[in-house]
Amino acid sequence: MNNTALRRILLPPTVVLLGIVILHSCGVYTLVHPPFVGVQHAAAQETFDKPGDETNSQPDIFDKPTPGSNTRAELERPEETAATPESKIPPALETYMGREIARTMHYSGAPWLIRDEREREERCSLMLANLGIRPQMVICDMGCGVGFHATKMAQMTGEKGYVAGVDVQPQMLAMMRRRMEKEGIENIVPILGSYHNPRLPRETFDMVLMVDVYHEFSHPRQMLASIRASLKPDGVVVLVEYRAEDKTVPIKPEHKMSKAQVEKELTANGFALKRSYDKLPWQHMLFYGRDTDQQNQKRQQNQDQIIPGESTGSIRSE
């Protein structure tokens, strides 16, 4: 992006969108604009919905898949489930294992996800080509947003496979549904997750993809435990994160992660690095599987016994 293009989309400080506070079952969270340093995508400002308009764009989706299901039909089955009691919801963290947790990007920033220059900046097609997707695979796009990657993966896995697109904002899922209808894609299952629970069935997925998502988890331990349980024995989690080691990547620091930090957090939660792909221009691409080593499993058990907010993270104040 050249300087002229940057000047066109930079907004005066008085009109920069700093965030919108929304209520969620997990508490109160601030959702922020896209993570470019000093840049607010102009289209996001134009498409911003005022608070209170959210109900007009909520999709018709099933809030919770059937636990233990292994087929798309079972995953789509609607079931009446009681809301999680407020006392059962763990507190959100501000930091985790020495890392500041970034705020979740608000759905008004969705145009940034489909910006024209994204392919040039991130080489999304190269990332998809190196995922190792095969026909009939069952894939989860965690934090799917508008379905930018989910729609492409649905085509790659074919009619006998499917993609579960999980997001915590119903407005994002509504936009993904519109993309599905426009492109004639039927093998994506939208799932409305929670900040502490992605609502995934156990031992179902060949792959869980998280593109620039994990660093925003306010409940990393709970989310990683659910994701780990959702994997097939040979399933993999793929983390794509902006490189914290590279100062030239024009992304805010809290939206970046180093390889060392990812390794520290994932191994503490029962994962082992399988391989990496290092040819993306801005991002790490790391493949993790379940760690079956007994010593690491013991370390994970010790991690589970740590009281949230003491050693591994600090609790987010509301």
pLDDT tens-digit map of 69-124:
344 544 544 333 334 455 588 999 999 999 999 999 999 999 999 999 999 999 99
| Contacting residues for 114 by C-beta, under 8 A, at least 6 apart | 146, 148
Nearest partner of 47 among 92, 132, 112, 125, judged by Cα = 112
User: Rounded to an integer, what distance in angstroms lies between the CA atom of residue 220 and that of residue 244?
Assistant: 19
- Number of Cβ within 10 Å of residue 23's Cβ equals 8
**Residue 295 and residue 292: Cα distance in Å, rounded?**
9
Q: What percent of the chain has pLDDT over 90?
A: 63
List the structure tokens of 232.
């097939």
- Whole-angstrom distance, CA of residue 221 vs CA of residue 219: 6
Residues with Cβ within 8 Å of residue 58, at least 6 apart in sequence: 170, 171, 174
pLDDT value for 232: 97
Q: Comparing 151 with 313, which gets the higher pLDDT? A: 151
pLDDT of residue 89: 86
Q: How far apart are the two ends of the chain, measured CA to CA in Å?
A: 37
**Predicted local distance difference test score (pLDDT) of residue 313:** 62
d(Cα 108, Cα 101) in Å, to the nearest integer? Answer: 20
* Calpha distance 160→136 (Å, rounded): 5
Does residue 48 register a pLDDT over 50? no
Q: Which CATH code for domain 57-100+110-313?
A: 3.40.50.150
> Angle of helix 150-157 relative to helix 170-183, nearest 10 degrees?
50
Q: pTM higher than 0.85, yes or no?
A: no
Enter the tokens of residue 238.
Answer: 């793929």
Supply the pLDDT for residue 87. 58
Residue 216: closest CA among 191, 199, 236, 241 = 241
Domain ranges (residues) in the chain: 57-100+110-313
**For residue 298, is pLDDT > 90?**
no
Q: Is the pLDDT of residue 61 over 70?
A: no
* Residue closest to 138 by CA, chosen among 165, 170, 112: 165
pLDDT of residue 88: 80
The DSSP element (H or E) to which 5 belongs, if any, is: helix 3-9
Rounded distance, CA 193 to CA 143, Å? 9
pLDDT class for 14, splitting at 50, 70, 90?
A: very low
More confident residue, 245 or 72: 245
Comparing C-alpha atoms, which of 15, 17, 12 is closest to residue 35?
17
